[in-house]
Amino acid sequence: MKEIKVLSVTSEIYPLIKTGGLADVAGALPAALASEGVRMRSLVPGYPAVISALTTATSIVRFADLFGGPARLLAGKSGDLDILALDAPHLYNRPGNPYLQRDGTDWPDNAQRFAALSFVAGWLGQGQVGRWRPDIVHAHDWQAALAPLYMKFGEKAHAKSVLTVHNLAFQGRFAAGLMQELQIPPSAFTVQGVEYYGDISFLKGGLQSADHITTVSPTYATEILSPAMGMGLDGVLNQRARDLSGILNGLDGVAWDTATDPYLPVRYKSNAVQNARRRNRQALQERLGLRPDPDAMVLGVISRLSEQKGLDLLLEILPQLLAENIQLALLGAGDAILQQGFARAAAAYPSAIGCAFNYDEPLAHLIQGGADAFLVPSRFEPCGLTQLAALRYGAVPIVSRVGGLADTIIDANPVALAAGVATGIQFGPTEAAPLMAAIRRAVTLWRDPKIWRKIQANGMATDVSWKRSAHLYAKLYADLINN
Ligand code: ADP
Ligand code: GLC
């Protein structure tokens, strides 16, 4: 079989730059797809963290003026990643978060910054840069969504395009007055193109132009067709429903491996879990200043603090958790009001509520390796990666029944328990009372070690790797090329 050449276009990629799961996925796909006969190169903005991570770099093309300044495209390596870094200092050479200024508001030129990324991807997709020509341009989220549009409205024959929606809530909506500056052809400013209620919507433009659309779980692919979950784009998505599919994310097998994890005080294999996890739990309690109480169930959370993640509901039920002798180990950053709420609770009950409000990779691993249960109460969740790590590490997931959470966890209802297939606990709707009921259900199961260990073992035996999904992406690429 001939090798398939794919250009992945992404605004984040682990381990170079990450704000969320998009980076994990973009970082894991190239290796996962290599064994499927796919060679993936990743086009990313040349943020300082990206440029400094390149171990080799050759300039393959220069732009005298790319949306307001000179730029060049660097081809290089970082570890095993094959990177094309768009070195455009006027757009990307700034410290901190890729999307936000220090005060938490968007960079004022995000339209130019991410249109530039997509514009160069469009060029590559039309074979206009150097000799390398991709068969497929695979764009991720709104930041790359104009790439399929630039190709479709461009003049040259172009590669096939795939747009993956990791989160429909972020759409890249900007004033129509930017059309010319962003070099979007006027003919694209229609309902069938980039126009959205009189504005430009990057994501809509991509949804209308891509040859195929994927999202990151089958359930989310269905949910977004409904007005309730479609975030205003359900109409467009319904029109394109035939070209829309859901492919579940996997979990990186090197970064998340209990047998080799450098951040775990005690590493373990699936045949010797209990003792190791007990000691990791003690280390976690110590790390967050929690009471070393073996009778308290430790509930872990690792999350962006945002409306999506439903953690306001957790705040609401904290008093009830305390009454049940449940301890909380929370790692999260984001929304200031949520953060203040958890900080206040932790200050009032330091021995039961332990929080860290930063980005902390080692602590994330310690929580997965030590918490008894792991909570993801999202209002919507395209896929979710933390519940996959929880499954693999033996922290029993408690999740809302939405999106990828619904697809990856088997609820411990009486039938699933009797059949011996449960891997966690699900609840719905995403409201405080059902959430509390789910946690109570978890505590009851936790107090019965035989049942709990069975649920835990089922979770650890679940295949959360990229294997199956890598195959599905490879097949999708091949089908697009052959049609
Ligand atoms: P989303 O992309 O919506 O934030 P995911 O569950 O897909 O949600 O991915 C989140 C990723 O970010 C996971 O790899 C998770 O471990 C990581 N993560 C989230 N918050 C933190 C944090 N404060 N510190 C370290 N890792 C975090
Ligand atoms: C998004 C979603 C999350 C998903 C991640 C990677 O950030 O919120 O559910 O796992 O992208 O696809």
Q: Using one digit for the tens of pLDDT, what is the confidence trace for 217-264?
A: 999 999 999 999 999 999 999 999 999 999 999 999 999 999 999 999
- pLDDT surpasses 80 at 57: yes
What pairs with residue 201 in β-bridges? 173
Residues in the chain: 483
- pLDDT surpasses 80 at 130: no
What is the predicted pLDDT for the residue at 322?
95
Q: Is 402 in the pocket of ligand 2 (CB under 6 A)?
A: no
Q: Is 22 in the pocket of ligand 2 (CB under 6 A)?
A: yes
What is the predicted pLDDT for the residue at 104?
87
- Class at the top of the CATH hierarchy for domain 4-250+467-482: alpha beta
Buried b (16+ CB within 10 A) or exposed e, 363-388: bbbbbbbbbbbbbbbbbbbbbbbbbb
Copy the structure tokens of residue 306.
């945002």
Given a contact cutoff of 8 angstroms between Cβ atoms, the answer to whether 419 and 455 are in contact is no
Most ligand 2 atoms within 8 A of CB, residue of 249, 256, 387 to mutate? 249
8-state DSSP, 285: H
Under the banding of pLDDT at 50, 70 and 90, the label for residue 128 is confident
Question: Ligand 2: which residue has its CA nearest to atom 10?
Answer: 384
- Class at the top of the CATH hierarchy for domain 274-461: alpha beta
What is the predicted pLDDT for the residue at 271?
85
**pLDDT, average across residues 291-313:** 97
What is the predicted pLDDT for the residue at 270?
86
Cβ neighbors of 308 (< 8 A, separation 6 or more) are 167, 169, 378, 379, 380, 381
Question: Ligand 2: which residue has its CA nearest to atom 11?
Answer: 166
- pLDDT surpasses 80 at 125: yes
Angle (nearest 5°) at CA 270 between 269 and 271: 90
316, 366, 372, 375: which is closest to 345 by C-alpha?
A: 316
- Cα distances from 216 to residues 68, 141, 221, 409, 427, in angstroms, run 34, 11, 8, 15, 21
Q: Which ligand is nearest to the CA of 380?
A: 2
- pLDDT surpasses 80 at 266: yes
Tell me the helix, strand and coil percentages in the chain, rounded to 5. Answer: 40, 20, 40
- pLDDT surpasses 80 at 371: yes
- pLDDT surpasses 80 at 436: yes
Under the banding of pLDDT at 50, 70 and 90, the label for residue 407 is very high
**pLDDT, average across residues 449-471:** 98
Q: Which atom of ligand 1 is nearest to the CA of 308?
A: 3
What is the predicted pLDDT for the residue at 467?
97
Q: What is the average pLDDT value for the chain, to the nearest integer?
A: 97
In percent, the amount of the chain with pLDDT more than 70 equals 100
- Sign, CA dihedral 142-249-358-18, equals negative
CA–CA separation, 451 and 21 (whole Å): 31
Most ligand 1 atoms within 8 A of CB, residue of 24, 164, 305, 338 to mutate? 24
Q: CATH 3.40.50.2000 in the chain, residues?
A: 4-250+467-482, 274-461
What is the predicted pLDDT for the residue at 140?
98
Q: Is 382 in the pocket of ligand 2 (CB under 6 A)?
A: yes
**pLDDT, average across residues 455-460:** 98
Copy the structure tokens of residue 201.
């919507």
Q: Which atom of ligand 1 is nearest to the CA of 19?
A: 12
CA–CA separation, 119 and 387 (whole Å): 35
Q: Is 456 in the pocket of ligand 2 (CB under 6 A)?
A: no
From the CA of 378, how far away is ligand 2's center (Å)? 11
Q: Is 210 in the pocket of ligand 2 (CB under 6 A)?
A: no
3-state secondary structure of 257: coil
What is the predicted pLDDT for the residue at 2?
86
Q: Which atom of ligand 1 is nearest to the CA of 249?
A: 7
Residue 429: phi, psi to the nearest 5? -70, 170
